[in-house]
Chains A and B, each alone.
Chain A
Amino acid sequence: MTNAEPTAVPGAPFGAPGTKRPLPSRALVLKIVSALILFGAWEIAGRVPVSLAFPTFLESMGALFRMAVDGTLWTAYAETLQPLAVGVAISAVLGIAIGLWVGLSDFFDWLFSPIFIVMQAAPLAALIPLLVLAYGIGLTSKVLVVCIMAMPVIVLNTAGAVRNTPESMKEMGKAFLASDLSIILKIIIPAASPVIFAGLRLGISAGFIGAILAELKITPTGVGDIITYSRSIADYPSMYAAIFSIILLAVLFLNLLEKTEAVLFKGNQRGYVSD
């Protein structure tokens, strides 16, 4: 009765999937099996076919290969990644700065937090028609779409992380005569950086949603153009291939970030603040 192991860590069951993996080989095999099952089901459903607008897996991969060889895919990505990169860069710099400010000062917390809390809960995508009216259909609007999607989570995570710096670490700084600036630079920011980084990752994930939304809603460019155009001429394999590629890219990139995080902040992990 007494061998209770307090394993529960309430808060974020989020970023720690599959913590106990016995053998990596078994996990790998099962991943491959599960990919085979999914793609196999896709292939079969396409062959039946469940819908005229549902190409097989192999057809879609063929289209992807074709677009990769003739270069359409790469030009499209060069265009799609532009607003994404600019938007994410702006959101990161501005979001972390505001977040630090909000986390360190009661006044700015009171002033700014409600805005970002509302933004985090609200469907900000509804602002897109307004952004288009105000800034036209060019790059500016698309960058802004990425920003409004990515920024709230970056600000809130940064502020929360700064606020949650363990009290005893700050006291330790004071007890060993650190100045306020040293406490911020040498204790608070390093202590907060894993959560800030996680916020950045969530922000980038939201930024991807924004970038694609902008291309589908505002003007079809880049990957959004391939999707929209191939749909209009009923070239479904190309459409599915483009969608497959953007999801693959986003997932690979976010996974890479997660791996980087794990290496960078080894032994310094804390839960995420919020979704």
Chain B
Amino acid sequence: MDMSQTKTVVVDTVPESAVSTRNISKNYGEVEALRDLSLEFPRGQLISLLGPSGCGKTTLLKIIAGLLEPTSGEVEVNGKTVTGPGPDRAFVFQDFALLPWASVIRNVSFGLEMRGVAKSEREDIAARYIKEVGLGGFENAYPHELSGGMRQRVGLARALSVDAEVLLMDEPFSAVDEQTRRKFQEDLLGLVQNENKTFIFVTHSIEEAVYVSDQIAILLPRPSRVHEIIRPSGFREKGADNIRRDPEYLDIVDQIWASLRTYVE
């Protein structure tokens, strides 16, 4: 296909893909943000898009979400071509994108409200997910009364409550502090295991990507391309507490840094 993708591991061992992108290009005028990018996202897994800033990982995520249109190429979700946002995908925003004038429960039920779910029903569902993300008791609080980490839990509950098959997460933990982030990462592992959903996770943190992902797609800039796909295998079953000192984990982190370091200013 393309010289730049020779290293792509063809996904053949895993089952059917929930999301696939085919030859996606995106130009902003003269600037090439993405060139001819193809990726498969297997069902039920968490796939990270990792790369230095400017590699187009958020652009790709927003194209999958249907928020941006690719200049060429197409995205398929469950075999259907994406033409815009749809009920099969939900988005978690880097800056949370909460409505500051609405209470937690109204924020969480926003997606259901837009789907025309009746008020009492959507508030029942929202309340359930608020509890699930650990915010029980804060239903009537407003975003400005919450810490950054709690705000992102609201964003997460909002995305979960619409029960979409695919969760798109755009650097969701980058605006919260280190300790909260660790807690989030652990919770995310539980979520991947319990919910039968596909997660596409954009991050710029190598450790975070290796810790949470079933697959890591490493994107390199200028022009943007998939450099490599890494599939950690050995430490996923050893339990969340042991991952960070697993030799394979450490090796992968080092290996990724080795291939990224030349692209960091």
Please tell me if A168 contacts chain B, counting CB pairs below 8 Å: yes
Q: Does chain A have a CB within 8 A of B160?
A: no
Contact of A176 with B101 at beta-carbon distance under 8 Å, contacts A267-B144, A267-B145 already known: no
Q: A254-268 toward B: CB 8 Å interface, digit per residue (1/0)?
A: 000000000001111
Is the Cβ of A268 less than 8 Å from the Cβ of B101?
yes
Measured between beta carbons, the chain B residues less than 8 angstroms from A179 are 114
Q: Does A275 touch B at the CB level, under 8 Å?
A: no
Query: Does B91 belong to the interface (CB within 8 Å)?
Result: yes
Q: Are the CB atoms of A177 and B87 closer together than 8 Å?
A: yes
A169, A172, A265 — most chain B CB neighbours (10 Å): A172
The majority secondary structure among interface residues of chain B is: loop
Interface residues of B in 97-155 (CB under 8 A from A): 97, 99-101, 110-111, 114-115, 142-145
- The answer to the question of B158 belonging to the interface, with a C-beta cut-off of 8 Å to chain A, is yes
Alpha-carbon distance A168/B101, docked complex (angstroms): 16
Tell me the complex Cα distance, A173–B107, Å: 11
Q: Count B interface residues, CB 8 Å.
A: 29
Q: State A179–B66 Cα separation when bound (angstroms).
A: 14
With both beta carbons as reference points, the residue of chain B lying nearest to A264 in the complex is identified as: B101
B-side contacts of A187, CB under 8 Å: 99
Contact: B97 with A171, CB < 8 Å? yes
Contact of A168 (CB < 8 Å), options: B65, B95, B100, B143: B95
Whole-angstrom CA separation of A274 from B101 in the bound complex: 23
Q: Hey, which chain A residues are within 8 Å of B84, CB to CB? A: 174
A166 at the interface (CB under 8 A from B): yes
Given that A190-B99, A267-B100, A267-B144 are known contacts, is A176 also in contact with B110, CB under 8 Å in the complex?
A: yes
Complex interface: chain B residues within 8 A of A81 (CB): none
Q: Are B114 and A177 in contact (CB under 8 A)?
A: yes
Which of the residues A169, A172, A191, A267 comes within 8 Å of B142, measured between beta carbons?
A267
Least distance between A194 CB and chain B CB atoms (Å)? 9
The size bracket of the interface on A is 20 to 34
With a cutoff of 8 Å between Cβ atoms, the chain B residues found around residue A169 in the complex are 97, 99
Tell me the bound Cα distance from A7 to B168 in angstroms. Answer: 33
CB distance from B108 to the nearest CB of A (A): 11
Chain A binding surface SS class = helix
When the two chains form their complex, are residues B143 and A267 in contact, meaning their CB atoms are under 8 A apart? yes
Residues of B within 8 A of A174 (CB): 66-67, 84-85
Instruction: Give the residues in chain B near A166, CB-CB below 8 Å.
Output: 95, 97
Closest B residue to A176 using CB positions: B111
Report yes or no: A172 in contact with B91, Cβ–Cβ below 8 A: yes
B144-179 residues with Cβ-Cβ distance < 8 A to A are 144-145, 158, 162, 168
Q: How far is the CA of A171 from the CA of B65 in the complex (A)?
A: 10
Closest to B100 in A: A268
Interchain nearest-CB distance for B230 vs A (Å): 28
* A residues in contact (CB < 8 Å) with B: 166, 168-169, 171-179, 182, 186-187, 190-191, 193, 265-268
A-B contact pairs, 30 of them (CB 8 A): A166-B95, A171-B62, A171-B67, A171-B91, A172-B91, A172-B97, A173-B114, A174-B66, A175-B65, A175-B66, A175-B67, A175-B85, A175-B89, A176-B85, A176-B110, A177-B87, A177-B114, A177-B115, A178-B114, A186-B99, A190-B101, A191-B100, A191-B101, A193-B101, A266-B142, A267-B100, A267-B101, A267-B142, A267-B144, A268-B100
Seen from chain B, the residues whose Cβ lies within 8 Å of a Cβ on chain A are 62, 65-67, 84-87, 89-91, 93-95, 97, 99-101, 110-111, 114-115, 142-145, 158, 162, 168
Identify the 4 closest CB pairs spanning chains A and B, nearest first: A267-B144, A172-B97, A176-B111, A175-B91
